[in-house]
């Protein structure tokens, strides 16, 4: 599991003092960075090899502006050329949101998916969570 803690910015909130629903996909996207570094440690965009195929977010409880948030990032599936990242947003010990992103190992030069190398699969599986039995 990867974990990142931060305090929401004022601009992340809505008129009710809650975190705006459009912010959560951005937080989850940022939390994917350690996973993306497994594929591209130096973040050289000229050699980029992943592309997002799908995202989803479920809002479980309210998240507020004035308290620290922890984003937890796991790997929930690994296939031949795709993998799924699972995120959770926690505040005060309460799950506020959860989401998934499906990414494809992708060759932008030939515009096709590519098998994930076994060495990378092994690193991804170090952060695996079994959602079926959670």
Give the pLDDT of residue 15: 86
CA distance 107 to 47: 9
Return the CATH fold of 2-133: Thiol Ester Dehydrase; Chain A (3.10.129)
Task: Measure Cα distances from 114 to 17, 109, 120 in Å.
Answer: 44, 11, 13
Q: What pLDDT score was predicted for residue 45?
A: 87
Q: What is the pLDDT of residue 17?
A: 83
Domain positions in the chain: 2-133
pLDDT for residue 97:
98
Tell me the per-residue pLDDT of 4-50, one tens digit each, with 9 for 90 and over: 999 999 999 988 888 999 999 999 999 999 999 999 999 998 899 99
Tokens of residue 20, six digits: 């705006």
Residues sharing a CB contact under 8 Å with residue 131, sequence separation 6 or more, in sequence order: 76, 86
Cα–Cα distance measured from residue 88 to residue 46, given in angstroms and rounded to the nearest whole number: 30
**Residue 66: per-residue pLDDT:** 85
Q: How far apart (Å, rounded) are the C-alpha atoms in residues 118 and 116? A: 6
For 69-116, the pLDDT digits (tens) are 999 999 999 999 999 999 999 999 999 999 999 999 999 999 999 999
């Amino acid at each position: 599991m990867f974990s990142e803690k931060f305090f929401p910015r004022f601009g992340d909130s809505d008129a009710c003092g809650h975190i705006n629903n459009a912010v959560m996909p951005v937080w989850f996207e940022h939390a994917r960075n350690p996973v993306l570094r497994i594929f591209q440690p130096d973040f050289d965009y000229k050699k980029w090899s992943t592309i997002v195929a799908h995202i989803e977010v479920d809002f479980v409880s309210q998240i507020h502006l004035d308290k620290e948030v922890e984003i937890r990032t796991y790997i929930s599936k690994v296939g031949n050329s795709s993998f799924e990242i699972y995120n959770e947003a926690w505040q005060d010990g309460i799950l506020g949101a959860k989401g998934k992103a499906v990414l494809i190992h992708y060759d932008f030069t030939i515009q096709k998916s590519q098998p994930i190398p076994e060495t990378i699969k092994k690193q991804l599986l170090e952060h695996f969570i079994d959602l079926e039995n959670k």
